[in-house]
Amino acid sequence: MLQMLKGIKAKNHLESIKYFLRYLLQEKRVDAVLVPKRHPNGRSVSHALITDPLNTEGSDPLAPVQTVNAACILKELTKEPTDKKIAVVLRPCEVRAAIELIKIKQVSDENLYMIGYDCPGVYDAKEYMNIIEKEEDREKFTLKYIEAFLSDKKEEIRESCSYCMYFTADSADINMAWIGLNSSDLVIGVNTEKGKKLINDLETEEISDSSRRKEKIGMISTGRKQIQKDRIDNFLDLIQPCIRCYNCREVCPLCYCKECLLEPEKMGYSSVRYMNRAIKKKQIKMPDDTVLYHLTKINHMGYSCVSCGICEQACPMDIPLGMIYNVFSRKIQALFDYVPGRSRDEELPVTTFREEELSEVEDIQQPRGK
C-alpha cells in the first residue's frame, strides 16, 4: 500500500527525494545517507556518503546512468560492524543484489535502511557522457528524462534496462514511487518493519487509488517481456571476442569470492603443463579458459543474478553479457521458482532441499513398474 508523506512538498520528484533525505539526517533518524550525487563539474554522478544534511544538495539518484552497482559499495560499507545507521538510496537492481548479498553474509543490513525507487532505466555510461556533454542544464536533464519516460517517448536506454522486469523496488525497506502517479509529492511504500520505524511518527496519507500505477506498470512489463530473449544459439560465437580482462567479474555485485577459483595459479598450471598439453593435443588455445570462465561464472552466480547489466557495460569488447546472463539465469531461477532479491526470507536454492525435490530423486531411484 502506498502512502503520501504529507510534510514534504516539492516542485518535482528529485526535489522531494532530496527533501526526504535531508529530513532523515536533520531528524537524526540516520547518521549518514549513501546516494548518487552529481560531480562538481556536473558531468557524471557517483555515490557519496553524506552526514551533513546540507550536503544532500546535488543528490541525483534518478540520473539515467549507473557507474557501479551500489550493492558493491555496501559490501565495503558493512565489512566491519559499526553502530552508525545508514540510509542507502538504491536502484531496484541494487536492492535485489544487496538482498542476495545479505543472504550470503557479504553485506550486513543490521544498520542499513534500504530506500529504493522506481527506476526509469539508464543509458550506457559512455553514451550518457556524450549526451550530457551537450546539455546546458545538466540538473534538469534528469527531470527531462523522467518526463520523457512518463510520456512513453522511446529513449535509447541500455539494452539490459530495456527488458528489466523489476523496475520498482518492492523489496526495499522503503520504496519511493512515481510511475503512474500524478503528484510530485513524495509517495512511498513501506515494505518492512524497519521501513516503518524509519518514518514512524511522520504524517502520511494513504493513496487509495493506485489503479493507474498498476496499469502503467503492467503496460511497461508486457512491453518488456516481449523484448526478452528466450534462448541463445550462438554462445561460443558471442564470447569469442573475450580478452579475459575479467572486468565483468570485477564489477559484478554478486561475485564475492576473495580470490577467483579461475585464477590460473589455482588451476595448478605450470609452464611445463601448458607445454605438455600442447604437445599431446597438437595445439591449445591461449588464453585457454574463456569458455570455462564464462560457464563457471554463470554456474556460480546464475541463481542470484539480478540482471543489472553492469557487466555488459564494463565489457571492452561489447560482448552482450547482460543478455547472456539474463537468459541463462532466468532459466536457472525458474527451475527453483526463485527470484533473487524478491524476499529476504527466501533461501538460496542451492542451500536448501525441498521435500518435493526429494521425491523427484526417489522417483528416479525407484521406477514404478508393473
Partner 1 sequence: MKNPEHMNRIGVFVCHCGINIASIVDIEAVTKEISKYPGVEFIKDYQYMCSEPGQMIFKEACRSGQIDGIVVASCSPTLHETTFRRASIEAGMNPYRVEIANIREQCSWVHHDEEEKATEKAIDIMKSVIERSRRNESLTEVSLQTIKKVLVIGAGISGMQVALNIANSGVETFLLDRQPSIGGRMAQLSETFPTLDCSQCILTPRMVEVGQNKNITLMTYSEVEEVSGYVGNFNVKIRRKAAYVDWDKCTGCGICYQKCPKTVPSEFEQLIGKRKAIYTPFPQAVPNKVVIDNNNCLYFKTGKCRLCEKACPLGAIDFEQKERIEEIEVGAIVVATGYDLYEKEKIEEYKMGYCEDVLDGLTFERLLSSSGPTQGKLVRPSDGTVPKEIVFIQCVGSRDPDNHLPYCSRICCMYTAKHTMLYKHRVPDGQPYVFYMDIRSGGKNYEEFVQRAIEEDNVLYIRGRVARLYREDDKVVVVGADTLSGKTIVIRADMVVLAMAMRPSGGIEELSKKLKIQVDGNGFLSEAHPKLRPVETLTQGVFVAGCAQAPKDITDTVSQAGAAASKVLELLSNEKLLHDPITSWIDEELCAGCGQCVSQCSYNAIQLDEKKRKAFINEILCQGCGACIVTCPSGAAQQKNFTIKQYYSMIESLV
- Binds partner 1 by CB under 8 A, chosen from 41, 182, 226, 351: 351
282 binds partner 1 (CB under 8 A): no
354 binds partner 1 (CB under 8 A): no
* Segment lying near partner 1 (by CB under 8 A), choices 118-126, 133-141, 332-340, 348-356: 348-356
47, containing H or E segment: strand 45-50
Site string for partner 1, 37-76 (x = CB under 8 A): ----------------------------------------
Q: Report 223-262 residues binding partner 1 (CB under 8 A).
A: 256-261
Smallest gap, in angstroms, from Cβ of residue 98 to partner 1?
Answer: 14
* Sheet arrangement for strand 174-177: 45-50, 32-38, 86-90, 112-117, 174-177, 187-190, 2-5, 204-206
Smallest gap, in angstroms, from Cβ of residue 296 to partner 1?
Answer: 9
Q: Report 175-234 residues binding partner 1 (CB under 8 A).
A: none
Please report where in the chains the cell 520523457 appears, as a residue.
Answer: 148
Smallest gap, in angstroms, from Cβ of residue 83 to partner 1?
Answer: 15
* Segment lying near partner 1 (by CB under 8 A), choices 174-182, 273-281, 311-319, 332-340: 273-281
- 57 in helix, strand or coil? coil
Nearer Cβ to partner 1, position 120 or 340?
A: 340
* Segment lying near partner 1 (by CB under 8 A), choices 16-24, 37-45, 101-109, 313-321: 101-109
Report the half-sphere exposure of 53 (CA within 13 A, side-chain side): 12
277 binds partner 1 (CB under 8 A): yes
Greatest alpha-carbon pair distance for the chain in Å reads 79
Residue pair 268/276 in contact (Cβ under 8 Å)? The answer is no
352 binds partner 1 (CB under 8 A): yes
331 binds partner 1 (CB under 8 A): no
Q: What is the DSSP string of 291-348?
A: HHHHHHHHHHHTTT-----HHHHH-TT---HHHHHHHHHHHHHHHTT--TTS-SSSPP
Residue pair 317/243 in contact (Cβ under 8 Å)? The answer is yes
279 binds partner 1 (CB under 8 A): no
19 binds partner 1 (CB under 8 A): no
Nearer Cβ to partner 1, position 182 or 351?
A: 351
Q: What is the Cα–Cα distance from 184 to 11, expressed in whole angstroms?
A: 6
Smallest gap, in angstroms, from Cβ of residue 347 to partner 1?
Answer: 8
Q: How many residues bind partner 1 (CB under 8 A)?
A: 24
What are φ and ψ of residue 8, in 5° steps? -100, 115
Q: Report 102-131 residues binding partner 1 (CB under 8 A).
A: 104-106
Rg (CA), the chain: 23
Smallest gap, in angstroms, from Cβ of residue 259 to partner 1?
Answer: 6
Nearer Cβ to partner 1, position 46 or 352?
A: 352
Q: What is the Cα–Cα distance from 230 to 239, expressed in whole angstroms?
A: 18
Residue pair 253/72 in contact (Cβ under 8 Å)? The answer is yes
162, containing H or E segment: helix 159-162
Instruction: State the burial class of residue 329 (Cβ atoms within 10 Å of its Cβ: 0-12, 13-18, 19+).
Output: buried
Smallest gap, in angstroms, from Cβ of residue 104 to partner 1?
Answer: 4
Which has the closest alpha carbon to 296: 339, 246, 253, 258?
246
364 binds partner 1 (CB under 8 A): no
300 binds partner 1 (CB under 8 A): yes
- Binds partner 1 by CB under 8 A, chosen from 133, 226, 233, 272: 272
Q: Which residues bind partner 1 (CB under 8 A)?
A: 81, 104-106, 256-261, 266-268, 270, 272-273, 277, 281, 300, 347-348, 350-352
